[in-house]
Amino acid sequence: MADFMGMMKQAAQLQSKMQALQAELDTITVDGTAGGGMVTVTLTAKGDLKGVKIDESLIKPGEKEIVEDLIVAAHADARRKAEGVMAEKMKAVTGGLPLPPGLLG
């Protein structure tokens, strides 16, 4: 019975750490860039879009498709960075134990 109680205590501690991690991931931001820095997309570590910056030189008639492509590329860059931050934070919280996909929601 003592082992079960110990496991329950560890589970409660992990749950508390996970909740703290969720809150922390909302405050960490990453920037993704494309076009040599002409487009920058800012995401939270959880992947929520927080901002887009577009160099004025791209705002020209006939450049719409280029700008759209650069926004997509910058978002993909930021998303990879956000996933990396999340993975590092998860590893710190779980001690490297693998967790089921979707646990962080």
- Residues 23-56 have pLDDT tens digits of 888 899 999 999 999 999 999 988 889 999 999 9
Confidence check: pLDDT of 105 > 60: no
This prediction has a pTM of: 0.66
Regarding the domain delimited by 23-94, which CATH topology (the fold level of the hierarchy) does it fall under? Ybab; Chain: A; (3.30.1310)
- 6-36 burial string, b = 16+ CB within 10 Å, else e? eeeeeeeeeeeebeebeeebeeebbbbbbbe
- Percentage with pLDDT > 70 across the chain: 89
- Percentage with pLDDT > 90 across the chain: 39
